[in-house]
Amino acid sequence: MSTSDSQIPLKTEHEFKDFLYWNFITLVLLFPAALAIGMRSTGWLLVYIFLVAFHFYVLEQRFFCTHCPYYAREGKCVNCMMNWGCPKYFKPRPYPPSRFDIAITSLGFIIVIFFPLPWLLKEPFLLGAYFVAIVFFLLTVRRYECGRCVYFGCPFNRVPDDVKKEFEESEGRVE
């Protein structure tokens, strides 16, 4: 029995229910941060909302998503687990992301994650909920997505090399 026979099948398509699930998980993560900020300042809450939207719908889409096979599919909108129905603002780039692309995306995530800390430190329960939600999100995405995702250029992809090779050969990507 080959390694790929014992693997969970690769996820070649996302469904709308995937989008709903992953966005709910993301909102669970962002809610304590937004609540902590909003309890003290509406202005800073608006800044945080803008920052999150800018990161996910501009920076991440341009520097990370444009390399993803889901983004390169036909149509004017993305149909993936995180951006269902989001217009494709950028041209697909069907090659692995560069170090610069990864750095920009990572910096954006770091800013989004650490921005609310000054407010969360004043609300210990929300700080705890925030960190639990981050850990829950990371463990869940790692367990249910990273081991079967066809975005092989992603630094978090955990699909075994033999499964990647078999998939690429079946898709006609390699000779």
Domain for residue 62, yes or no? yes
Token pair 């995530």: residue: 109
Domain for residue 114, yes or no? yes
Task: DSSP letter for 86, please.
Answer: E
pLDDT of residue 173: 61
Domain for residue 64, yes or no? yes
Tell me how many domains the chain contains. Answer: 1
pLDDT of residue 168: 86
Domain for residue 123, yes or no? yes
In whole angstroms, give the CA distance from residue 36 to residue 33.
5
Residue 119 near residue 37 (C-beta atoms within 8 A): yes
Domain for residue 101, yes or no? yes
Task: Pick out the chain residues at pLDDT < 50.
Answer: 1-5, 175
In whole angstroms, give the CA distance from residue 163 to residue 75.
28
Q: What is the number of helices (H) and of strands (E) in the chain?
A: 7, 2
Residue 134 near residue 104 (C-beta atoms within 8 A): no
Domain for residue 96, yes or no? yes
Residue range of the domain that includes 23: 13-130
Domain for residue 55, yes or no? yes
Domain for residue 135, yes or no? no
